Chains A and B, each alone.
Chain A
Amino acid sequence: QSALTQPRSVSGSPGQSVTISCTGSSSDVGDYDYVSWYQQHPGKAPKVLIYDVTKRPSGVPDRFSGSKSGTTASLTISGLLPEDEADYYCSSYAGSYTFVFGPGTQVTVL
């Protein structure tokens, strides 16, 4: 049950794009197309932004997009807005009802 790897922080100016990487292993990200991304604002419960690597739940803006190559998944936020400043976590299904998370990435809008 090794954690996924994410950068601790990324930043960008309003309107710019930022990409957060999420590296796992052949037992999780590399084995399943069930990577999901969560946004968490301080004091709030996480909210799903992306699931099944690339899908967006209804209500999530298309500024958020996901991708995967091998054992690395990525979340791209296009057209940064001030309200995008939050912590972002990747997660992968790892079989038999188990999941693994990344350590989280703090996104700062400059």
Chain B
Amino acid sequence: EVQLVESGGGLEQPGGSLRLSCAGSGFTFNNFGINWVRQAPGKGLEWVSAISGDGRTTDHADSVKGRFTISRDNSKNTVYLQMNSLSAEDTAVYYCAKGGFYDVRGYFSWLFDHWGQGALVTVSS
């Protein structure tokens, strides 16, 4: 069974830093990209960051570019999101989500096929 478990959320002051972790299990971790998706209170989903299975390709939404960095350690089946220069606008539940799967023919589908339970990040003084 595919499982994704986030950790590292909490309360941080504006301008501070936090690092989120996403531990995956139940699949060949280094074969799949992982994404971070966030949801501010009462708002919609926002794609934040993505990293390829081998870690060589990353990208971030414009709203976090230059402040957030995604990385992974495949020996630990874990993806990280380093968040710097936090502001109140970064307050959200942060979900990690597996970024697709191969069908029996080897065809790859791009979607968020499995999600973690979410980690709450609150930025406030």
Pick the contact of B35 from A1, A51, A52, A99 — CB < 8 Å? A99
What are the residues of chain A within 8 A of B46 when measuring CB–CB?
101
Q: Find out whether the CB atom of A91 lies under 8 angstroms from the CB atom of B62.
A: no
Instruction: Give the CA-CA distance A98 to B99 in the complex, in Å.
Output: 10
What are the residues of chain A within 8 A of B92 when measuring CB–CB?
none
**Chain A contacts with B in 39-57, Cβ cutoff 8 A:** 40, 45-48, 51-52, 55, 57
Q: Find out whether the CB atom of A45 lies under 8 angstroms from the CB atom of B111.
A: no
A45 and B118 contact, Cβ closer than 8 Å, known pairs A99-B50, A102-B44: yes
B113 at the interface (CB under 8 A from A): yes
B89-113 interface code vs A (CB 8 A; 1 in, 0 out): 0000001000100000000011111
Interface residues of A (CB under 8 A from B): 1, 32, 34, 36, 38, 40, 45-48, 51-52, 55, 57, 87, 89, 91, 93, 96-104
Q: Find out whether the CB atom of A104 lies under 8 angstroms from the CB atom of B44.
A: yes
Q: Find out whether the CB atom of B47 lies under 8 angstroms from the CB atom of A46.
A: no
Instruction: Give the CA-CA distance A7 to B45 in the complex, in Å.
Output: 15
> Closest A-chain residue to B115, C-beta based?
A45
Pick the contact of A46 from B50, B61, B115 — CB < 8 Å? B115
CB of A54, distance to nearest CB on chain B (Å): 12
Q: Find out whether the CB atom of A51 lies under 8 angstroms from the CB atom of B113.
A: yes
A48 and B111 contact, Cβ closer than 8 Å, known pairs A98-B47, A102-B44: yes
> Closest B-chain residue to A35, C-beta based?
B111
Pick the contact of B110 from A40, A87, A93 — CB < 8 Å? A93
CB of A42, distance to nearest CB on chain B (Å): 10
B24 at the interface (CB under 8 A from A): no
B51-64 interface code vs A (CB 8 A; 1 in, 0 out): 11000011101100
Pick the contact of B112 from A52, A91, A103, A104 — CB < 8 Å? A91
**Chain B contacts with A in 67-125, Cβ cutoff 8 A:** 95, 99, 109-113, 115-118
Q: Find out whether the CB atom of A45 lies under 8 angstroms from the CB atom of B116.
A: yes
CB of B3, distance to nearest CB on chain A (Å): 12
> Closest A-chain residue to B65, C-beta based?
A1
Instruction: Give the CA-CA distance A27 to B47 in the complex, in Å.
Output: 16
Q: Find out whether the CB atom of A100 lies under 8 angstroms from the CB atom of B44.
A: no
